[in-house]
Amino acid sequence: MPTVHVDLANRSYDILVEDGLLDSIGALIQSVGLRGKCALITDSNVGPLYAERVLASLKEAGFNASTHTFPAGEGSKSMTQASELCSAMIEAGHDRSSFVVALGGGVTGDLAGFVAAIFYRGIPFVQVPTTIVSQVDSSAGGKTGVNSPEGKNLIGAFHQPRLVVVDPLTLASLPGREYREGYAEAIKHAAIRDEAMIDALNALDPADQHPSADLLARNLAIKARVVEEDERETSGTRALLNFGHTVGHGIEASLPYGEMLHGEAISLGIRAALYLSEKINGFPKEDSARILKFLKTFQLPLVLPEGISTETIMAKLQRDKKFSGGSIKFVLLTSAGTAMVSDQVTLSDISEAIEHLRVG
C-alpha cells in the first residue's frame, strides 16, 4: 500500500493509504505498540456511518474502547467542547495509559488531537481521516487546536499522531460540496511544491468521489516533507503551507462558523494570493489561470459573497497566527510549484487583493 513516513526522530510515524483499511484499524494500531483503553472520538455525521466498524476492529484486536460523539460542524471546535470530551473520558475510566482515535474530518482531527494533547498532560492518538481536507492535509503534521471568537486555531498544541490510517472509500459518503471543498488544500500543495500535480488535478472528475490512493499519498508526502523540515514553524518552511490561508482564514472568521466551508474560504484566499503573486513577484498569469481553472471546475468560490466588508476581513486576519509580532509574513508563488514567504506585502496590498475578490 502507499505509505508515507514522517521522520521526526522519536515522534516519527507512518501514514497508510489504501482502500478498505477501516476494517484493519485495530491490528494496525496494535502493530505500532499502543496499549490500554481507547477513546474513539467522532462527530454526529461520521459516527453513524463508520464508528461500529472501527469499534469492531478495535474489539477484535483486544482493545477496550468507549465512543464519544460531538455535534458535527466547525462550531464544535471550541474549548467548551474539548472540556466536555475530557470530562466524558474521565467518567469512562480513561487515564494516562489510554489513547485516542480521531475518526472524521479536519474538525474531528483538530479537536480530538487537542484533547489528546491536554488529557492527563498528553496521551497518544491515531488519526483516521474521512474527508479530502483531512486525507490530503490536516491529518498529518501534528497541529491540533480549537477556535476562539477572535479567529481560527488560536488555541492549540503541536501533538504528532502515532499513526494515520487513510481509507479512500470513506469519501464516497461525503456530500458533493464537502468532497469538493477539500481539494483547495490539494491545489495548494501543487502550487507550492509540485507543478506537475496541477495538471493531474485538472484531469480529475469532480463527480468521481474515489481518488487514487497514490494521489492522496502524493499530497501527504508534500505535507510530510515540509513538516520534517520545520515541525514547529521556527524556520519559516512550514509557513509555505499557509498559501491562501491568510486571507482565507480572515474570510472564514468573518462569517458564522460553518457558513462557509474551510476549503471554500481557502479557494478565495488562493485567488487573493495569486493576485499578489502576480503583482509583487511577476508570477505568470497563465499559471494563475491553470490553478483557477481547477478551483472553478470543482465549484469552489472565486468571488467574495456580498455582505462581508473588507474592514472586517482585515481585522480578523490581523489576529491570525501568521502575523508574528505584528509583522506580515505572506506566502507568494515565484513560479508554479515554488513558493516563498515574503515580507514585502503590505496591509494595503492585502486590502487590494480582497477587493479584487469582488470582481468575477
The boundaries of every CATH 1.20.1090.10 domain in the chain are 176-356
**Integer Cα distance of 225 and 247 in angstroms:** 25
pLDDT value at position 92?
98
96-131 in b/e burial notation, b at 16+ Cβ within 10 A?
Answer: eebbbbbbbbbbbbbbbbbbbbbbeeebbbbbbbbb
User: What pLDDT is stored for residue 312 in this prediction?
Assistant: 96
The model's pLDDT over 199-256, given as tens digits with 9 standing for 90+, comes to 999 999 999 999 999 999 999 999 999 999 999 988 889 999 999 999 999 999 899 8
The confidence score (pLDDT) of residue 324 equals: 60
Per-residue pLDDT, averaged over 307-320, amounts to 90
Q: Please enumerate in sequence order all residues whose Cβ is within 8 A of that of 57, keeping only pairs 6 or more positions apart, or say none.
A: 22, 23, 24, 25, 26, 27
Distance of CA 186 to the CA centre of its chain: 10
- Greater confidence, 206 or 329? 206
- Judge whether residue 322 has pLDDT over 80: no
Provide the CATH number for the domain formed by 3-173 in this structure: 3.40.50.1970
If one compares 275 and 325, the residue with the highest pLDDT of the two is: 275
Mean pLDDT of 23-34: 98
Question: pTM above 0.75?
Answer: yes
Residues with catalytic annotation? 121, 143, 185, 223, 233, 238, 242, 245, 249, 262
d(CA 275, CA 349): 10
pLDDT digit string (tens) for 348-357?
A: 999 999 999 9
The per-residue pLDDT for 326 is 64
Query: Helix or strand or coil: residue 332?
Result: strand
Per residue in 107-128, pLDDT (tens digit) is: 999 999 999 999 999 999 999 9
The 3-state DSSP class for residue 326 equals: helix
Which part of the chain has CATH 3.40.50.1970?
A: 3-173
> Which tens digits make up the pLDDT trace of 281-305?
999 999 999 999 999 999 999 999 9
**Region for 129 from its dihedrals, namely left if φ exceeds 0, alpha if ψ lies in -120 to 50, beta otherwise:** beta
Class of domain 176-356: mainly alpha
Question: How confident is residue 196, by pLDDT bands cut at 50, 70 and 90?
Answer: very high
8-12, 39-43, 320-324: least confidently modelled range: 320-324
Which residue reads 516533507 in cell numbers? 225
The dihedral of CA 43, 46, 48, 52: what is its sign?
Answer: negative
Residue 329 has pLDDT above 80, yes or no: yes
